[in-house]
Amino acid sequence: MKKIAVFPGSFDPFTIGHEAIIRRAMSLFDEIIIAVGGNALKKNYYSLNTRKEMIRKVFKNEPRIIIDHYEGLTVDYCKKKDAGYLLRGLRTAADFEFERAIGQVNKAMAPGIETVFLLTVPEHSFINSTIVRDIIRSGGDASKFVPGAINLKDYKSIEAEAFSPEN
């Protein structure tokens, strides 16, 4: 049976930390679905379409990587996609505590799905989307924290899109 993993996240925006986890996981799975989630509690900086477009740029030559989005429970989405694995990255002890709770709840809801954690490499452990967003918002250069294929200048935030002349 095909080993399919779902890598869920907000990816607002996608960083080199996310990219590294996925590239390493490619030797473990036949297919990885990067599933951009609608976290109801988070106010997004980039639109869903923009986030998906950025990720598509990074993996445009990787047929085993699928880019999708979902709403609702992650385990329900995994079942719909026949994915037996949930992939997550771990940076810190705080990540671990947060992920432990989610992982155990997911296991209770869907015993057939295994959550697989990959530890980040030390040089990525301080990289998170919140900090990258703050740099962009403040007009700084965040390019070294996002994959080379993503040119941040090509993308507008939801707010900037609302004020662009064509709207």
CB of 164 to ligand ADP, least distance (A): 25
Positions in 41-70 near ligand ADP (CB under 6 A): none
Among 4, 21, 83, 113, binds ligand ADP (CB under 6 A): 21
What is the rounded CA–CA span in Å between residue 156 and residue 148?
Answer: 18
- Residue in 17, 27, 26 with CA at minimum distance from that of residue 66: 26
Task: Select the span of 45-53, 59-67, 121-129, 146-154 touching ligand ADP (CB under 6 A).
Answer: 121-129
Residues 124-163: x where in contact with ligand ADP by CB under 6 A, - otherwise, as a string: x--xxx----------------------------------
**CB of 66 vs ligand ADP, minimal distance in Å:** 16
**Which of 4, 5, 6, 17: binder of ligand ADP (CB under 6 A)?**
17
Q: Which is nearer to ligand ADP, 95 or 161 (CB)?
A: 95
Of 129, 160, 159, 161, nearest to 147 (Cα)?
A: 129
Please choose, out of 51-59, 76-84, 88-96, 159-167, the segment that lies near ligand ADP by the rule CB under 6 A: 88-96
Using CB under 6 A as the criterion, which residues of the chain lie in contact with ligand ADP when the complex forms? 9-11, 15, 17-18, 21, 39, 88-89, 91, 95, 120, 124, 127-129
